[in-house]
Structure 1
Amino acid sequence: MAHAAMLDFCGDVLQIESPGDDMAAMRAALDAHFPDSDGLIARDEIRVPDVFVSDMDSTIIRQECIDELADYAGLRDAVSAITERAMRGELDFASALRERVALLAGLADDTIDRCLRERIQPTEGARALIDTLARNGCRTVLVTGGFHHFADPIAEQLGFDRVVANRLEVVGGRLTGRLVGAITDSLAKKQVLEEELAKKGATAIAMAAGDGANDVPMLEAATYGLAYHAKPQARAAANGWIDRGDLSAILKLLDLPNI
């Protein structure tokens, strides 16, 4: 028998319990009747995740770091056009990343610190989300197709336990237009989630958040995959979505008080 009730008196989270196992049909019904909503569909009772793995750009922070950095080189339009196509899944991520990084060759590395200071801001609700998850025993990991130069200070600021990112090559105080080491792509993001989940045991719950095509495998692998104001590919792959609220909306869906 189906059942629906508000989680809190006069609250804004509706909990629906329905017989059957057709999650696609449930998703279609919710999209039809509750457009521009925040939601999460699960087969079992929703509980606090043991591991949270999140994308950075346009998820934990409001900006795309490489686009903002390119602006200091007068190349924002060229770089952001590639970024948008990569996020939509129209371009191979690794090739698109190398192409954009190559355009930054010669840029002084202290421009990164300036960009961080002047342009990069956490998304509304990010600190509340990470603080609350941590207080409830959840391990938090920031995994990004962006760069350690940005991700490390953002992770320290917000309290993430681990960072996985790409590394820009710097020689003589300037970017060379190349990367150092393996690329953190969609497969790497999924592998990080699975690696962290395996440490927690067979009954552990994983939650992931992201917004672009590069996040799809990670969102699909997570128990709760949250598409945050996402591109169509990412939203279609996830069983959760934040279309209306900020990152603290995830706490409401988990029935966790925002502290």
Structure 2
Amino acid sequence: MRPRPAVTSRSHNRPDGGVATTQDFYSRWARLYDTIARRSPGVQSLRERAADRLAPPAGGVVVDMGCGTGANLPFLSGQVGPEGRVLGVDFTPGVLAVARDRLSTLPDTGPGAPVGVVRGDATRPPVRDADAVFASFVSGMLADPADAVDHWADVVGPGGRLGLLDLARSTHPLGRPLNGLFRAVVRGTSPPGTRSRVSTSPAALLDRRVVAAHRALFDRCVDVEHETHALGYARLTAGTVADS
């Protein structure tokens, strides 16, 4: 158990695409994104299930990579308990402002653990060690998601917990007919400019990145649990980092 996350002063690297454009896009729409992240049908139960599957140790330290507006923080806090610590990392000022507002509604003691957020690059976070790392709906935004997952596994080390929750096109018989709509949503919600910088469709790129991230988790972890939800669109994977 680690009483607090060890935070470094490392500046964040440039994420995929234009960092200023991406930050401006997500900052401008932070409140709407927060509503979608918390109010979409079934999303709260999905976040709660993901936190359960991550299963960080009571009293441990969890880092939420690409935490956005902090929708996962209450669920992760409930997992580690009042003696634990939850830290959210994100590189976009606007969404972190919403996340900080959310922190004011969470107790510092009692049933919830102390929580905080910090600005940083999730691919090379300003955190040296933790007991668990979680990332939701982040893999598809990273230029090299497998490398990021590999780094997160190094952060928690052998015995640490690693979890991913992502969206991608469905292979489920009931979900496949809706893939066209899903592609349109992915394209429409991509930051301006990013769509013109890729040679394939944003949905196809998202698929490849999500597969790469979850495969990297399988490569680094044991006791891996993998689930699909929401007609096959949601992919949830969690495991324990193996000895090197």
Common topology (TM > 0.5)? no
- TM-score, scaled relative to structure 1: 0.38
Rg larger in structure: 1
Which structure exhibits the higher relative contact order, with contacts defined as CA atoms closer than 8 Å and separated by 6 or more residues?
Answer: 1
TM-score, length-scaled by structure 2: 0.40
